[in-house]
Amino acid sequence: MKTKPFVYLLILVVALLTTSCNLTNAVAILTASATPIAVPSNTPTNTPEPTSTPTNPPPTATATPTETLTPLPTQTGGSTGRFAFVTDRDGNAEIYSMGLDGSDPQNLTNNPARDNHPVYSPDGFYMAFASNRDANWEVYLMTADGNDLINLTNHDSDDYPYAWSPDGAQIAFVSNRTGNYDVFTMNKDGTDVRQLTTDPADDLCARGWNRDKIAFTSNRDGNYEIYVMNSDGSAQTNLTNNPASDGCPNYSPDGSEQTALTIDPADENSPMWSPDGMYFAHASNRDGDYEVYITMPDVQLSINLTIAGSSETWPQLQPAVP
């Protein structure tokens, strides 16, 4: 775990207290480099994200500076102060949680199979995730501390969870049970499975569920774009419509407009906003291997939360438990 002197913590507090700008980002779209296929590899590298090299000229803005400070545990932005992530530090893909200050890492899955795609319920009490412990990839549910495991899908296809409905009653997941990847929803107990997309292309990475809208990635127009639809699958609309490859969207808390939040030659992906919009967690290989970062756009500061030497991806901030 990377730590820095306490004086940097005080600098970070001052920087945050002086921040007064509200974020106006509707969909946090970070450039990804992994092909959008839904089956994770042995190394958990955010599988369903596009690989096409953007054809637009790269931005000329200065890259967000990276610091290796340890964030204060009080700067949780409405979360519990913990986050989950996928790591191969034990030799296979496992789901860990740890404090935002880098303390108390816990292996939540601890299984010789591969585990991926952790998604906290809105109340922070449950976690849905994908695992191939039953030979193919299934959606499982457990409590946030790794107990009371349930297989929700029990299907011979590959299924991957991506988002919870805002009321915590449903889970959006992607499955290839129709021959290609489509977006489905189900109740949190695995009942009432409904298919939302029926296009012969691959529809993936339905990470953004905001009120009655679900954002997802599709290559139905020739390259991977970000689409949005109603939570019943109607009114599917292309949001990005760009020759570059766009993938794995997530909504900012105020849900207003698209904005580039990181401009770095490294791969930046899997964004997730804090509830108050002060920062977002994401994965980046800017230091050589994939690690989890917290970035505060208003003060142009990124903090590395994990360790070098292993792949750390797919960060999920745990909402505060009521």
The reported pLDDT for the residue numbered 84 is 97
Alpha-carbon Rg for the chain in angstroms? 18
* Class in CATH terms, 45-319: mainly beta
Structure tokens at 86: 């996928």
Cβ atoms of 117 and 108 closer than 8 Å = no
The reported pLDDT for the residue numbered 204 is 96
- The 3-state DSSP composition of the chain as helix, strand, coil percent (nearest 5) reads 5, 40, 60
Structure tokens at 216: 């997802």
Dist CA 320 CA 315 (whole Å): 16
| pLDDT under 50: residue ranges of the chain | 1-77
- Return the SS3 of 258: coil
The reported pLDDT for the residue numbered 309 is 83
Dist CA 239 CA 222 (whole Å): 14
Enumerate the domain spans of the chain.
45-319
Cβ atoms of 163 and 207 closer than 8 Å = yes
Query: Mind giving me the DSSP string for 85-116?
Result: EEE-TTSS-EEEEEETTS---EES---SS-EE
* Predicted structure pTM score: 0.75
The reported pLDDT for the residue numbered 13 is 33
The reported pLDDT for the residue numbered 77 is 45
The reported pLDDT for the residue numbered 320 is 82
> Closest Cα to residue 241, out of 254, 219, 265, 225?
225
